[in-house]
Amino acid sequence: AERGERLDALRDKTDGLAVSAQSFRKGANRVRKKMWWQNMKWTLIVGLGIIVLLIIIIVPIINSQKNDNK
- Per-residue pLDDT tens for 44-61? 999 999 999 999 999 999
**Over the stretch 12-46, which tens digit does the pLDDT of each residue have?**
999 999 999 999 999 999 999 999 999 999 999 99
What local confidence, expressed as pLDDT, does residue 59 receive? 94
Distances (CA, A) of 51 to 9, 10, 16, 21, 40: 63, 61, 52, 44, 16
What local confidence, expressed as pLDDT, does residue 70 receive? 65
What local confidence, expressed as pLDDT, does residue 1 receive? 78
Report how far residue 32's alpha carbon sits from residue 30's, in angstroms, rounded to the nearest whole number. Answer: 5
Query: What percentage of the chain carries pLDDT values higher than 70?
Result: 99
Global pTM reads: 0.62
